[in-house]
Amino acid sequence: MHKVILSLLLAISFAIPAHAWGPTGHRVVGQIAADNVNGRTKAQIALILDPGEGLAEAATWPDEQRSDPDPFWQKTSTPWHYVTVTGHPEWRPTDAPKEGDAMTALQSFTATLRDPKASRADRALALRFIVHIVGDLHQPLHNGKGDDRGGNEVAVTWFGERANLHSVWDSKLIDGNGLSYTEYVARLERRMTPDRTIAWWNADPLVWNRESIALRDRIYPAENARDLGYLYQWQWRPAAEERMAQAGIRLAAYLDKAFAD
């Protein structure tokens, strides 16, 4: 009986969608963006978010709200954390289901953010989702290929413990360093040369999506090599860190553009 219950619990754990990057990764993205937006954008953000709330805190809010039993958080907003792209190198409008996805949600929330008639509450909701979605679109497995729920159904072990490939990329590659998000930001920003910042300064979501898909198609381990540990970590942690750093710079570029007019 105990074995049956344990099996059911493990099955449920594999069925629950993971959150892109986990809290650490999303906060890293938000803080790097906060450090790189221009002064006018900083002022706009301060007018919209709650007092003392920065982009790092806002970045995790859409995931935290998924504990709310309201149908908006349990059903309506769930598809806005990912896109599905099958058989071509970048997202197309026809890829979006009727309930929307991360790309259509980003477009909608950006329109709200830029709408002078929108309420402060609606603009705050929009800004928090934008911060989160930009991070999501830089996580390769949130740009899924449509047959394994973004790697959630790819069972692996991670240093001997049961996991799935999605959770490895969401958090295990990142949290394995044992760094707080502020320590991680300091580490990544020390490596961020002016040339890199200029090269990464891109506000086009299709570019981010295309990069993620190209990376997604390389990170799946072979079926006979899914006992992941030091080798996989050595191969792919630098890529995960680069995607976080790029996401922070791209979020700054995107917000500067959104507030430009």
Q: Is the pLDDT of residue 216 over 60?
A: yes
Domain map (residue ranges) of the chain? 2-258
Instruction: Give the residue among 248, 261, 254, 29 at the shortest CA–CA distance from 126.
Output: 254
> Which pLDDT value is given to residue 13?
36
Confidence label for 4 from pLDDT (cuts 50, 70 and 90): very low
Taking only the tens place, the pLDDT of each residue in 137-154 is 999 999 999 999 999 999
* pTM (global) more than 0.85: yes
Tell me how far apart the alpha carbons of residues 45 and 129 are, in angstroms, rounded to a whole number: 13
- Give residue 221's pLDDT band: very low, low, confident or very high (50, 70, 90): very high
| Helix (H), strand (E), coil (C) string for 106-157 | HHHHHHHHHCCCCCHHHHHHHHHHHHHHHHHHHCHHHEECCCCCCCCCCEEE
- If you write DSSP's letter for every residue of 190-224 in order, what string do you get? HT--HHHHHHH----HHHHHHHHHHHHTT-PPPTT
Residue 21 pLDDT grade (very low, low, confident, very high; cuts 50, 70, 90): confident
Termini Cα distance of the chain: 63
Beta partners for residue 154, in sequence order: none
Which one, of 129, 120, 106, lies nearest residue 51 by Cα?
A: 120
pLDDT at residue number 55: 98
Tell me the three state secondary structure of residue 101: coil
Place of tokens 């898909």: 213
CATH code of the region 2-258 = 1.10.575.10
Distance CA 238, CA 255 (A): 26
